[in-house]
Chains A and B, each alone.
Chain A
Amino acid sequence: MSRPMGDSHKRFLQTLMSNGIISSLQAKALHRHCCETHGAHYSPDRLDEFIDVINTQLQPMFMYIRKGMSEEDGVQYYALVNTAETDITRMSSDYADNELELFRKTMDLIVDSENGAASSTDVLNCADSLQTKKLKKKETELVLNKFVQDKWLNEKQGVYTLSTRCIIEMEQYMRLIYQDLIKVCHVCQNVAIQSQICENPACGIKMHLPCVARYFKGRNDPHCPSCNDFWAHEIPEIRQSQSEGSQSQSSSAAPAPTPSTSSTRRSRRS
């Protein structure tokens, strides 16, 4: 039953691979662009099917295009996951051993923390006690910058959090390494690193901020869905981008592609 991949699928996959992660809006635009470039039948609400075709062919390679949510703004993203990896080996070709160790330690700090974040000071302290090879302050700052550029970490005002790409791609690794330390969001059941926690010590369920925003929308007396205690945190507003991400977009939202010039000779029917 597995459909072979057409050039439109291959182009989508290549672009996803070279970008590492794309938002669902970008994915929709890319889907359209790939189908039009290769003269494939295009239907805007068929993106999931389109990706399924790719995933079926990727399965023997232990790869998978997975959808995940940003913990910051609730936007949906697509990233390529390696299902055979049980380590952060996918980073290993880009970083030295001590840099990888620093990443693991940073992730430890973040997972251990209550707010799912680590300050640069804490990370710098780690750099000083690496087992592989110590990193100096300047070197650590450069490596951290690289992590951010390569989309493994987010940084805001000296505080580091796990990026959406990191969470999507390394969820399997994190569940394996951290076991019970990793909790899932009560609402969406996905790994929750940055989250709000129920104040009731006997309860302690976690919810992503975008999930809290959606769950408690319009209610001015929020209660924990599990233990019914008052939910003592500030309820964030639903962000504009969040609502866009969860609805199906009309094709007018995607940027109009330029008409193909002489690509007709090269375009293949898929």
Chain B
Amino acid sequence: MSQRKRVATAGSQSKLARRSQQVVLDEDDDGDASFTQLTSSQVQKARENFTSVQVDRKVAEVVQFILIKDQKKIPIRRADIVKHVIKEYKALYQDIIKRVDRTFEQVFGLKLVEIDSKNHIYILINKLQPVPGEPISMCPGNPKTGLLFVILSIIFMKGGTVKENVVWNTLKKLRVDVGEKHEEFGDVKKVVTDEFVRQKYLEYLRIPHTEPLEYEFRWGQRAEKEVSKMKVLEFIGELHSQEPQTWTQQYREASSGESSQR
């Protein structure tokens, strides 16, 4: 806060000073010019224009909006939040989003994470890990979680990138044939390459210069933030009745992943 005040009194008309006077939300080039041209005094004025009750209400509305979008695991665009919810409170975007973030952490145990800083796209990730023995499933009726976890495990054990055929072959061994309609998952290929990718759990990327065209899988941004690599390794360890440490490379990666995820 005090930093902004200092900048506001700078007063010099040089390009550099003008830049530093701006409450720059970020160097965005998404065409939304009105964001970057806000001066700190404009923000201050906006704070005075709206009562705290009104702003409280906006915070609540943004929380609701994001929760609903997140139900479908659709990444949330900042532009949508502003257009549909924040509207005339736009100048207070930073204030509002900060409070929204705090609410998600303190009340819901969720975290708002920006996965695309150019286009300003967020996802809500779970700060609480799934634990065994839940009396009611956290994801009721969702066998897809198991499928996803297996695929994430394959990718992780293979060093982070894996050709799609490896995934299909492994799944086939588990009686999940990507060519056939599966009893629980339906069109398996669609679930894996479309649904999981859209939800940002997986990345499905073209391998350049391949003829015929081949694709590879990687962990998506949501998986990176939500899934504990150590948990994956422990799962593999149990499958093979070995200690996780048996796989030194993966163990090292999983251990460093733990500390960065906290």
Q: A residues touching B (Cβ–Cβ < 8 Å)? A: 4-5, 7, 10-11, 13-15, 17-19, 22, 26, 29-30, 33, 37, 54, 57-58, 60-62, 82, 84, 90, 93, 254-255, 257-258, 260-263, 265-266
A7 touches B128 (CB 8 A): yes
Compute how far the CA of A145 lies from the CA of B110 in the bound complex, rounded to whole angstroms: 31
**B138 close to A255 (CB less than 8 A):** no
> Across the interface, do A10 and B135 meet the contact criterion of CB distance under 8 Å?
no
- Given the known inter-chain contacts A82-B64, A262-B234, please indicate yes or no for A14 contacting B131, CB distance below 8 A: no
Question: Which residues 199-246 of B have a CB within 8 angstroms of A?
Answer: 228, 234
**A-side binding surface: helix, strand, loop or mixed?**
helix
A131–B141 CA distance with the chains assembled, in angstroms? 34
Q: CB < 8 Å: which of A14, A30, A62, A260 contacts B128?
A: A14
Q: Does B133 contact A (CB under 8 A)?
A: yes
Residue with the highest number of chain B CB atoms closer than 10 Å, among A30, A84, A93: A93
How far is A14 from B71 in the complex, measured between Cα atoms in Å? 11
> Residues 137-161 of chain B: 1 if any A CB is under 8 Å from the residue's CB, otherwise 0?
1111000000000000000000000
In the assembled complex, the Cα of A61 lies from the Cα of B102 at a distance in Å of 12
User: Within the complex, what minimum Cβ distance (angstroms) separates B48 from chain A?
Assistant: 21
By the criterion of a CB under 8 Å from any partner CB, how many residues of chain B are at the interface?
Answer: 34
- Give Cα A22 to B108, complex, Å: 18
Known: A26-B136, A61-B63. A260 touches B131 (CB 8 A): yes
A30, B131: Cβ atoms closer than 8 Å: no
Additional A-B contact list (9), CB under 8 Å, known A7-B109, A262-B234, A263-B131: A4-B106, A14-B110, A18-B139, A18-B140, A19-B137, A30-B135, A33-B135, A57-B106, A260-B132
Closest to B107 in A: A57
Bound complex: CA A263 to CA B67 (Å): 27
Asked if residues B134 and A15 are in contact (CB atoms below 8 Å), the reply is yes
Q: Give residues in B with beta carbon < 8 Å to A.
A: 56, 59-61, 63-64, 67-69, 71-72, 103, 106-110, 126-129, 131-140, 228, 234, 258
Instruction: Indicate if the CB atoms of B64 and A15 lie closer than 8 Å.
Output: no
Contact call A61/B135, Cβ cutoff below 8 A: no
Residues of B within 8 A of A37 (CB): 131
Q: Which of A19, A60, A254 contacts B140 (CB 8 A)?
A: A19
Do A62 and B60 have beta carbons less than 8 Å apart? yes
Q: Is the CB of A93 within 8 A of B68?
A: yes
Contact of B109 among A4, A10, A60, A266 (CB under 8 A): A10
- Complex Cα distance, B108 from A15, in Å, reads 10
The tally of CB-CB contacts under 8 A between chains A and B is 83
The reply to whether A26 and B107 form a contact with Cβ atoms under 8 Å apart is no
| Chain B residues whose C-beta falls within 8 Å of the C-beta of A15 in the assembled complex | 134, 136, 138
Say which residue of A5, A11, A61 sits within 8 Å of B64 (CB atoms): A61
Partner of B56, one of A7, A17, A60: A60
Pull 12 A–B residue pairs with CB atoms less than 8 Å apart, ordered by A.
A14-B126, A14-B128, A15-B138, A18-B140, A19-B140, A26-B136, A54-B107, A61-B107, A257-B135, A263-B129, A263-B131, A266-B228
Closest approach, in angstroms, between the C-beta of B258 and any C-beta of chain A?
8
B138 and A29 form a contact (CB under 8 A): no
- Contact residue among B132, B136, B258 (Cβ-Cβ distance under 8 Å from A261): B132
Contact A258 B128 (CB under 8 A): no
| Contact across chains for B135 and A93 when beta carbons are under 8 A apart | no
For the complex formed, measure the closest distance between the CB of B63 and the CB atoms of chain A, giving whole angstroms.
5
> Considering residues B68, B108, B126, which has the most beta carbons from chain A within 10 angstroms of its beta carbon?
B108
State in angstroms the CA–CA spacing of A174 and B136 once bound together: 30
Contacts of B107 in A (CB 8 A): 5, 10, 13, 54, 57-58, 61
Which residues from chain A contact B234 at a C-beta distance below 8 Å?
262
Contact among B56, B67, B109 for A11, CB-based, below 8 A: B109
Residue from B72, B103, B132 with most neighbouring chain A CB atoms (10 Å): B132
